Amino acid sequence: MAGYQKLWQLRNDQISIVSNDHKKLNQFHEELMMKVVQIAIDKTVSELGPIPAHFAFFVTGSAGRLEQSIWSDQDHGIIYEEKENCQKYFLSLGKEISKGLEIAGYPLCPGNVMASNPIWCQSSSKWEKQISEWLNTETLESLRYFSTFFDSRVLFGETKLLHDLKSTAFSKLEAEPRLYLRLLENVRHYKKALGPFGQLLPEQHGEYKGYIDLKKAVSYPFVNGLRLLSLKEKISSPSTIERFNQLPSEYKSIKKYKPDFIELLVFQLHIKKDAKDYEDVHLIDPGTMTRDEKHVLKHLARSAHKLFSEVTAVIEKGVGELD
């Protein structure tokens, strides 16, 4: 417990030093999370004995994509090699990691995408079945889980375990290309930041009345669009920037939006540098923004919308040609 609290203090003391640099900030998060995982492993080994099988602890969401802001919640899972009577051990490890991350300043995932959840802590063979089940079920929830999984990278352990699962997913999609359309439909409808005349559109009702959710209205079209193309082109990297980089040359019209996405990451750090918690870090009040900040936000929102429209056309055309 004391070790996690020391990391919480370290976070509070030092995060302001890196809060203006996206790469340094995400490197700081990385180092902090790694320290949490190591403490959790040491504690679990001391209580339950040696780790019973090779495993991979992976992060997903903004941590997986290396797109964390100053505040970030938890999104992670565990894959372990096929051995008998392992799940209880790794679930205990997952619970300890979740507890440690929460103490260190990373709120629990409201959707329970954490290695403390049996769905996100499984053997490699059960993970294969889970991925197939998510794709076969084709519900909004199951496809959202699959998309969340695909934005993952190994933080600690055997990278091959995750690589093999992503290869399985690529094969499944290649065999059933109609699934690309289902994945597109799952993310097609998102909150718009701009109205028909180019005006900013804050929420009109509810708890967040007067605010724009930067993540849902501007980040999501970039992130979801590049994920769809990465699935189509078998790009396993979870980073949106790396997905831009690895797109084949025929995607020149889409690759041109990469500078806008980088600008979005910088803009979020600037506009929310004083955010008090995870809920606050994505919410923007247009009434407090300068004229220049509003201009930048409008430009980024337009770029996000244009990019997603182009991705939609690519996916629909590609699947149509296979029919």
**103-126 pLDDT, tens digit each:** 999 999 999 999 999 999 999 999
Give the pLDDT score at 278.
86
**53-62 pLDDT, tens digit each:** 999 999 999 9
pLDDT at 23 over 70: yes
Mean pLDDT, to the nearest integer, of 282-306?
A: 95
Say if CB 50 and CB 143 are below 8 A apart: no
pLDDT at 323 over 80: no
Say if CB 182 and CB 141 are below 8 A apart: no
Say if CB 155 and CB 37 are below 8 A apart: yes
pLDDT at 320 over 60: no
Give the pLDDT score at 2.
78
Task: Give me the CATH topology for the region 2-176.
Answer: Beta Polymerase; domain 2 (3.30.460)
Rounded to the nearest 10°, the torsion over CA 276, 280, 286, 287 is -50
Percent of the chain clearing pLDDT 70 (strictly above): 98
Domain range list for the chain: 2-176, 183-322
Say if CB 88 and CB 262 are below 8 A apart: no
Q: How is residue 143 annotated by DSSP? A: H
**156-205 pLDDT, tens digit each:** 999 999 999 999 999 999 999 999 999 999 999 888 899 888 899 898 88
pLDDT at 321 over 80: no
Q: Is the dihedral of CA 167, 170, 171, 172 positive or negative?
A: positive
